[in-house]
Each structure stands twice: as C-alpha cells, then as structure tokens.
Structure 1
Amino acid sequence: MTPKTGRYSRYIRPIQTFADLLIINLLILVCMRPAMSNFGYHTIISGFWLVISYYSGFYEVYRFTKAISILGKLIKQFLFISLVTFAYVGYKYKYVTPYEVQIYIFSCFCAVAFVKFSIFYLLKKYRVFYGGNLRKVVIIGKGKNVNELVDFFQKNPDYGYSLIRTFDLKLEKRAQLEEVFSFVKSNQIDEIYGALNNLSNSDVEEIINFADNNLKTIKLLPDNKNVLMRNLTVEYYGYIPIISLRKIPLEKEINKRLKRGFDILFSILVVVGILSWLTPIIALLIKLESKGPVFFKQKRNGLNYEEFYCYKFRSMRLNPIADLEQVQKNDPRITRIGKFIRKTSIDELPQFFNVLLGDMSVVGPRPHMVSHTEMYAKSVDKFMVRHFIKPGITGLAQTNGYRGEVENNKDIINRVKYDIFYLENWSILLDVKIVFMTIVNAIKGEEKAY
C-alpha cells in the first residue's frame, strides 16, 4: 500500500495567511493615525480577520477555482472587515475621519488582492512550465461528458491534472474494472473519474469501495446536476459539473490549523501539568517490577497509511510477540503496574509526545499495529478510509464502547463506522466532547480497559 499524494500544499495557505495579517497590520501605520497602532486594535483586527476568513472560506481556493470566485471572496471578506473597522473607529477614535478609514480599507484590499492573485497565477504557471503540483487521474466511461472532460484536462494544464488514461467500458465490465483497479494501484493514480451513464449501481459501488479501501479520490460525471438525490458536493471544472462523494472537513486548511492548534495546546498542558511529575513515578514502578525500558514503542499506521512509532508506558513483560498479538483479557504478559496503568489509560499518556511531533492528534481513529492494519485492510470494508486523517489518542469509537481488544468482526466493523462518521462530521466542539467523554469513562472505569 502506497501513501496517498497530498491534495494541498502544507505551506502556501499558512504563508498567505501570515502575509495578509502582516499587510492589514502594517497598513494601519501607513494609512491611519499613530494612536490606532496599539496592541488592542492589532489584536481585534487580526482576530476578526481569521474568524471572518474561516466562515467565508476566504482561503478555500483550489486549482479549479475561477478568478471571479476569488474576487467574490475578497469583496465578501472586506465588507465584513470594513464594518468591524468603522464600528471600532467610531466607538474608540471619533477624531479619525471616514476618509482615512476608506483609504486604509482600499489599500488593504489592493495589497491582499495582489498577493492572492499572484499566488494563484504563479501556481498555474508552475504547473504548466515545470509540471509541478500535478494530480494523476484516469477516467472510466465514454460519452459527451467524458469527451468534454478529456478536452478540458488537455486544454487546461494550469489546473494541474495529468490525464493518464481513459477506460472505455464495453463488455465484461467486471474484468475491465479489475484492469482499471490494477492500473490505478500500479501507476499511483490520485483521482478516478467515472461517467454515471456508463456505470450501473453495482459498478459505482464497486469503484467507491475500491477507492475507499485504497485511499483514492473518486468523482463522478453526472448527466445533469440532479442525477443523484443525495447531499453531495458539486464542483465545476469550467462549466463541467463534477460530484465529490465524500466531504472531509479536515481537508480544509483552516480546519487543519484549528485542530493542530487544539492538539498542541492540549498536549502541552498534559505534558507540563501531568507527565512532568507522573513519568518519574511510573518509570520507577515499572523498573522495580520487571526488566526492560520504561517506554514501549510500536510501529503503527497513521495519516495516508504512513508508518510511525507510537509511544506508551510499558505495561507488559518483554516478549517476542508484542508486535503481533493484541492484548487479551487476563493476558499473562501484563505486569501488576501494567494492569493499573492500562485500566486507568495512563499507559497512553506518552502519545501526547506523538501529538506534539505531528504523528497523531488528540482525537481521531485509533491506530492499529502494522500487522493488524494489513489484515483489516483486506478483510474489513472501508477500513482504509480511517487513514484520510491523523490517528488519535482517543476517538468517537472508543467513547462508544469500541476500545481495546477486537473480539469479533462486529467490533472492528462498528469501530470503522464510528471513525468514518467522525471523519465526515468533524468539528472542534466534537473533539472537546470526545475528550470530555474519555476523561469521564477513565474515571468510571471501562469493561474493555485491560
């Protein structure tokens, strides 16, 4: 299994956000009176800028976004910023004239627009001349909509889509779909486009299952926008409607940053407030009872199926099957102190270092050991979908009774269902709720905490 190519640059949006904040703050010094340049106003304008941009989707600019849409985002953003600025100036600095405020807003608009459009068009030129930031795609099916999409990809290299192959399904669709799936895996294709007029419901279901289980993006070409009676996302490549089947909130850069900020803040509180004094005590107790290291590290699969070392306090005696067999009830490998720290979930606390390192999140699908991940990927439908986001120390499945040992197929199937629900319905409030439920469950004690 190969890691999935990242959809977004991890640097462009943070840099653009920083540049915008720098512009709106520096121009206060240039366009406004010196009294306006104070900590209070800089904090307010920066805070409102971030909040407004989050709700307006100001930084949600993709390779298929039109220039007119970017202009609309700019106008919407600065309408709200204008209201905030005029309200604050009118309340706090009555001697500042409306003309000065207007000059400030106009200057900010022009500077931010210049930066935003420069990045947008430079990325287009980068894709055309250097072949960078490309996504490899295949198309399944034939017909007018397929021909239009092929023509679109060929005539618009600045969008960054590299059409590798088109599959014309005729007879024996099942065998042909197997050929498509093999081609997609061997050529590391990023996105699959399917024409609905050439695919039956079972064909679509098979393609969706393949995409989900192999971390590929699947998009469908409808005959018309209303062909599917579901609440799906419709994007336009030029004038061609494209349906996205799964909308993942954490694909938005602002949501990633918000979640990462929560992870870092919460982890620092745990590391400084708890681990700083608890670690020496637990280390001493572990060492007194059995030989071996204080910390246990094990390879797990995380975001995009990449492997990382997951850290825990060692709760078992050293044994050769620690990376192969999951802990069971009354497992003889568990030490006395191990039983206590597992029951109270103290053994999981070192994973907050994993969070700080960026391998994990505080909340997310629980990562499995590599051998189990490979097994479940083959036997459990949609298991691989969990790897579209970072794994977590705790998760929605764990707070609903599906933690610890997987005793039967029902356990892992329901765990995957909860993980996919979390992935598709993430919010920072849901993270807070799961953390609170985890703490409550740890205090109450859980049946499968062994």
Structure 2
Amino acid sequence: MHITKKRESLLLFVGDIAILTTSLWLMLLVRYLALPSMDLFMSHLEPFSILFGVWILVFFIAGLYEKHTLLLKSKLPSVILNAQLVNTAIAVFFFYAIPYFAITPKTNLFVYLVISFGLVLLWRNIGSRLFFSAVGRENALLIASGKEMRELKNEVNGNERYSVKFVSAIDIQEVTDDDFQNEIVNRVYAEDVSLVVIDIHDEKIKPILPHLYNLIFSGIHFLDMHKVYEEVFNRVPISLLQYSWFLDNLSHGQQSIYGFFKRAMDMVIAATLAIPSLCIAPFVVLAIKLDDGGKIYFTQKRLGKDNEEVR
C-alpha cells in the first residue's frame, strides 16, 4: 500500500499531454488572431508531437511526476517555469538544427512558453486536485506521538491528492498501557479503518505488536510511520536520526544522489542529441560509400572476459 499510487502519475501524464496540445492550438490562435485551420494546426502538431516526448522527459527529471505536498506548492511555479525554459531551448535547437519541417517559430515559441506555463500551473494546482478528490480515500489510523505525528496528520488530511485520510489518531504518550491495545482495536473497527500507520520504533509499541498481528487477518494493512513521513516530506524524521541511522545510510546517500543526477544528465543529453544524430547518420553512410565503398560498421576480434574472443 502506498500513499501515492501509479494512477496519479498516469493521470498527470495524460493531463500534461492534453495541456501541451491545447497550448499549441491557443498559441496559433493568439499569434494569428484567428481560429487556426486544421492544416495549420496539423503542420505544427507533427513536429511539436516529437518535442512533447522530450518535454515530458524534462518534466520527469524535474520531479513533476513525483508527489507534491502543500509544503512544496510554493516551489511549483519555479519548477514548471524552469522546465519550460529548458523545453523552449530544446525547441529552438530542434527547429533551427532540423529545417525539415519548414517552420522556424520565433515569436510562436515565446507565446507558447507563456501559455503552456500558465496552463500547466493551473492544471497542477486546480485541475489535478479536482480529479483526485473524486477518487475515494482510504480510512487510516495514525499511532505515534510528538511534532512529527501532527505534521504528518495535517499534511495528509489537508491534501486530497493522497489516497488515504487519517480518520483517527492515537497519541502514544496519552494512552495507558492497559487501554492501549483495546483502544487501537476499537478505533479500527469503529472508524472502518483499513490502514494503520504506526511508529514501530517507540518502546511503548513493541510489547503490543504481537497482538496487533491478528488484525492482519481482518484485512488491515500496516505501515511504519517513519517511512510514510519520509515518503511524504522527502526527509527523514528527526527522531530517527541516531548513530545507527548515519552508519546505515550516510555511506550510500552521496552515491545515490550522484547516481540520480548523473542518470538525469545522461538522459537529457541523449534525448537532446538523439534526433540530430539520426538526421546526420544517412549522410555519414553516404560519405563512407562514396569515399572508399567500405563497410558501414567496423568490427574486429578482441579478447574479453576469461581471454575469450569477442567481436
């Protein structure tokens, strides 16, 4: 069970494609101050549809298909604007490096940047919320304590994009040991709870964990509160930052961050250069044939693993 499901990313993807296509039509409307004809629209849609694929990849790298909480909404406009600036630069290179499509939009690209930025921002803030609010949310019980518990409850309950809602919460510090187990079971059935998010690291929780095991057979799912907190806020709970956590995670953190940015850079560069390279390839083949008539692909035998010959 995950707070953010695949349907969210899929819905955002479909919505972005629709927004980018609509922005193209509106760009032509604003540019020529008349309803664009089908021929005019299709002549622009053909090259722009190629760009849409690259632009969606830029959106993905920018994190626009990951979860966004209310705390990150203030950063959303800058993320979208930066992504669209990169997309515009890619479009400029695409149209001027590949004259095949016989259109070199100058003013159009600026108009498109303004329109698409506004519509994507509107879609991400309002449109997606309407879609996600139409989907039922799963009832959940939160069992924890302290500031992190309150932050998590307020964040999830205040954002309808999450597929769960904390209909009840139990503060570990306010419940006696004798009533703890019964309190949990009673709330699970009284509130029709199907998911329990619990702080399994709390010393007060550990003695009752064997008793909560029976709830699994009633279809109740359990999640570690710290993992949910990290998933929602993209940061580790402060209460979990002990020496054991640093020993377990610090040596891997830098490598994973480096790997992410390296992979993102590889994808951006590859996507940007892929189309120009494909256009140049036929001329390279022709040049080889005209020069010496040799083979297009060069192969030779080399020694590989265990001194085996490979071609």
Offset, 1:195: 7.6
Deviations 1:209-236 (A, max 9, x none): 988x95444322644463444559xxxx
CA drift of 1:144 comes to 4.3
Residue 143 of structure 1: aligned partner: 146
**Structural mapping, 1:4-19, within 5 Å:** 7=5, 9=7, 12-19=11-18
- Equivalenced residues, count: 223
- Cα pair 1:58 1:77 within 8 Å, conserved: no
Q: Is the 8 A contact 1:135 1:190 kept in 2?
A: yes
Partners in 2 of 1:47 and 1:157 — Cα distance?
29
User: 1: distance between equivalents of 2:86 and 2:213?
Assistant: 41
Structure 1 residue matching 2:170: 3-state secondary structure? strand
1:53–1:77 contact (8 Å) kept in structure 2:
yes
Q: Give distance in 1, aligned partners of 2:27 and 2:169.
A: 53
Distance 2:249 2:156 in 1: 30
Residues 31, 104 of structure 1: 8 Å contact kept: no
Paired residue for 2:84? 78
Contact 1:138–1:164 at 8 Å: present in 2 too?
A: yes
Which residue number corresponds to residue 111 of structure 2? 103
Contact 1:196 1:223 in 2 (8 A): no
* Structure showing the higher helix proportion among its residues: 2
The C-alpha deviation readout for 1:37-74, integer Å capped at 9, x for no partner, is 35651331122123223333323244556322322331
Q: Per-residue deviation at 1:14?
A: 5.0
Task: Considering Cα pairs closer than 8 Å and 6+ residues apart, tell me whether 1 or 2 has the greater RCO.
Answer: 2
Inter-partner Cα distance in structure 2 for 1:206 and 1:52 = 48
Superposed displacement of residue 83, structure 1: 1.6
- Aligned equivalents of 1:209, 1:54: Cα separation in 2: 41
- CA spacing shift, 1:35–1:21, aligned 2, 3 Å: closer
Rounded to whole Å, the distance in 1 between the matches of 2:197 and 2:98 is 55
1:16-165 aligned at under 5 Å gives the runs 16-27=15-26, 29-30=28-29, 34=40, 37-38=43-44, 40-62=46-68, 64=70, 66-93=72-99, 96=104, 98-122=106-130, 126=133, 133-147=136-150, 149=152, 152=154, 156=158, 161-165=165-169
**Which one of the candidate residues 167, 170, 194 is aligned to 1:166?**
170
User: 1:143, 1:35 → 2: CA distance?
Assistant: 57
User: Deviation of residue 207 (structure 1)?
Assistant: 7.6
TM-score using structure 1 length? 0.38
Cα 1:68–1:201 change in 2 (3 A) is: same
Identify unmatched segments of 5+ residues in structure 1: 233-450
User: For 1:108 and 1:16, how far apart are their aligned partners in 2?
Assistant: 12
String of CA shifts for 1:159-197, please: whole Å, max 9, x gaps. 763332315365658x84586367547733334142845
Which of 226, 232, 242 is equivalent to 2:241? Answer: 226
State how far apart, in whole Å, the 2-side matches of 1:134 and 1:45 are. Answer: 36
Q: Which runs of no fewer than 5 residues in structure 2 stay unpaired?
A: 33-39, 230-236, 251-311
What displacement does 1:81 show?
Answer: 0.9
Q: Structure 2 counterpart of 1:85, which letter?
A: A
Q: Take 1:113 and 1:119, find their aligned partners in 2: how far apart are those partners?
A: 9
Please state how far the C-alpha of 1:19 moved relative to its aligned partner.
1.7
- Per the alignment, residue 420 of structure 1 pairs with none
Whether the 8 Å contact between 1:197 and 1:223 is mirrored in structure 2 is: no
CA contact (8 A) 2:27 2:115 kept: no
Q: 1:231 to 1:68 in 2, by over 3 A?
A: farther
Q: Are residues 191 and 69 of structure 1, via their aligned partners in 2, closer, same or farther at CA, if it must alter by over 3 Å?
A: farther
Instruction: Give the Cα separation in 1 of the matches to 2:140 and 2:215.
Output: 15
Aligned residue runs from structure 1 range 263-412, under 5 A: none
| Cα displacement (A) at 1:79 | 2.4
Report the secondary structure of 1:60's partner residue.
coil
- Matches of 1:53 and 1:138, distance apart in 2: 34
- In 1, Cα distance between equivalents of 2:158 and 2:220: 28
1:16 positional shift: 1.2
Q: 1:16 to 1:181 in 2, by over 3 A?
A: farther
* 3-state SS, counterpart of residue 37 of structure 1: helix
Q: Which amino acid is the alignment partner of residue 41 of structure 1? A: P
**Secondary structure of 1:192 counterpart:** strand
Distance 1:59 1:82 in 2: 20
SS at match of 2:169: strand
Q: 1:80 to 1:206 in 2, by over 3 A?
A: farther
Query: Once the 2 structures are TM-superposed, how far is the Cα of residue 92 of structure 1 from its aligned partner?
Result: 3.3
- Aligned with residue 194 of structure 2, among 189, 197, 203: 189
